Amino acid sequence: MPVSNAAESIPFALEVIFALHQRVRPYNKFLRWELERNALNDEWSADQLLAVIDAILTTGAPSAQRALFLRIEQAARARGHDQVLDAWGEVLVLLRG
């Protein structure tokens, strides 16, 4: 996937990540500041999340995209969104790699 296509997923992913933690997504320029001062919890350290986002933005690597999705899926399932995810059917296989 070209980097520009992969990069388009980042704003949506951040919206979901912060929503799963009942928080509003910060503006991009405040993302690091927000994550370092108000961690999402043990699931998402600032360094881990920013490293995956950076890999997606700079390389578009499918492995980085899958890693981000797997973390989002884990957080969503932990918050009771199993039925929504399971309704995606075979798409989950593709997203998980």
> Per-residue pLDDT tens for 58-70?
999 999 999 999 9
> Per-residue pLDDT tens for 70-79?
999 999 999 9
pLDDT at 40: 84
Which DSSP string corresponds to 11-71?
A: HHHHHHHHHHTT-PPPPGGGHHHHHHHS---TT--HHHHHHHHHHHHHH--HHHHHHHHHH
Which whole number is the average pLDDT over 30-48? 88
Tokens 């998402």 found at:
44
Domain that holds residue 79: 3-96
Our count of domains for the chain comes to: 1
pLDDT at 64: 94
